[in-house]
């Protein structure tokens, strides 16, 4: 029985002759790699995962069994090139905290609260983990480690938040600040974001 795209979503250890690093197959065909970021995508064709990693090349990975191990190569296949092969092994599913941010695949919008009020912010689930705020615009990004969320908000500073995946809330504050005073921050989920990929996937499932 062939795997479905939703069954493949999660974190993998990707190996090649230069070593091993983590990559993530996100919902709705978004491919994410913290170490080598690009607006990359993945698609399941039969039992082959096709990856378009933009500047880092295209890859074809064949699913070897129920444990989601994959073996494949960079496109075009070249067995004479010892750097052409790739292997992947399933590491872990997306956590409840990650899914709270990623939503249906495009990201999520949250009501971000501070001592002066609140405003909407967006966590984009793209290849660069962009963080967007219309009220305080900056070239900003987010990252996660366990249930800790880190926001690099450009000129507005860095923030560390602890996410409650079940409640879809978060709390924390500015890095190095006094959270018992005005440097605290809280947020709650407002809605999941939509993009064309999410809409197409939704229509496909109904």
Per-residue model confidence as pLDDT tens digits over 174-186: 999 999 999 999 9
Q: Is 26 a residue whose pLDDT tops 70?
A: yes
Q: Is 131 a residue whose pLDDT tops 90?
A: yes
Half-sphere exposure in the Cβ direction for 15 (13 Å, CA):
8
Could you read off the pLDDT of 79-117 as tens digits, one per residue? 899 899 999 999 999 999 999 999 999 999 999 999 999
Structure tokens at 121: 């912010």
Q: Is 199 a residue whose pLDDT tops 60?
A: no
pLDDT range class, residue 204, cuts 50, 70, 90: very low
Q: What is the rounded distance in angstroms from the CA atom of residue 27 to the CA atom of residue 141?
A: 19
Cis peptide before 76 (omega within 30 of 0): yes
> What per-residue confidence (pLDDT) applies to 206?
38
Residue with tokens 């096709």: 50
Q: Is 203 a residue whose pLDDT tops 60?
A: no
Structure tokens at 55: 């500047």
Question: Cβ distance 52 to 45 under 8 Å?
Answer: no
> What per-residue confidence (pLDDT) applies to 146?
87
pLDDT range class, residue 162, cuts 50, 70, 90: very high
pLDDT range class, residue 201, cuts 50, 70, 90: low
pLDDT range class, residue 3, cuts 50, 70, 90: confident
Residue with tokens 């197959």: 25
Q: Is 152 a residue whose pLDDT tops 90?
A: yes
What's the whole-number mean pLDDT along residues 21-48?
96
- The model's pTM is 0.91
> What per-residue confidence (pLDDT) applies to 120?
98
């Amino acid at each position: 029985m062939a795997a479905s795209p939703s069954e493949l979503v999660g974190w993998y250890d990707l190996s090649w002759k230069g070593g091993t690093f983590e990559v993530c197959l996100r919902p709705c065909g978004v491919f994410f790699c913290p170490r080598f970021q690009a607006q990359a995508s993945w698609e399941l064709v039969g039992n082959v995962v096709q990856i378009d990693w933009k500047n880092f090349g295209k890859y074809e990975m064949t699913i070897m069994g129920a444990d989601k191990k994959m073996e494949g190569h960079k496109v075009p296949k070249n067995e004479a090139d010892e750097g052409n092969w790739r292997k992947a092994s399933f590491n872990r599913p997306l956590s409840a905290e990650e899914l709270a941010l990623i939503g249906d695949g495009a990201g999520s919008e949250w009501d971000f609260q501070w001592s002066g009020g609140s405003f909407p912010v967006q966590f984009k689930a793209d290849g660069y983990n962009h963080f967007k705020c219309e009220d305080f615009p900056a070239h900003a990004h987010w990252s996660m480690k366990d249930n800790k969320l880190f926001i690099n908000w450009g000129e507005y500073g860095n923030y560390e938040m602890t996410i409650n995946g079940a409640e879809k809330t978060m709390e924390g504050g500015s890095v190095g600040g006094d959270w018992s005073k005005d440097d605290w921050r809280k947020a709650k989920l407002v809605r999941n974001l939509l993009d064309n990929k999410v809409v197409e996937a939704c229509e496909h499932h109904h």
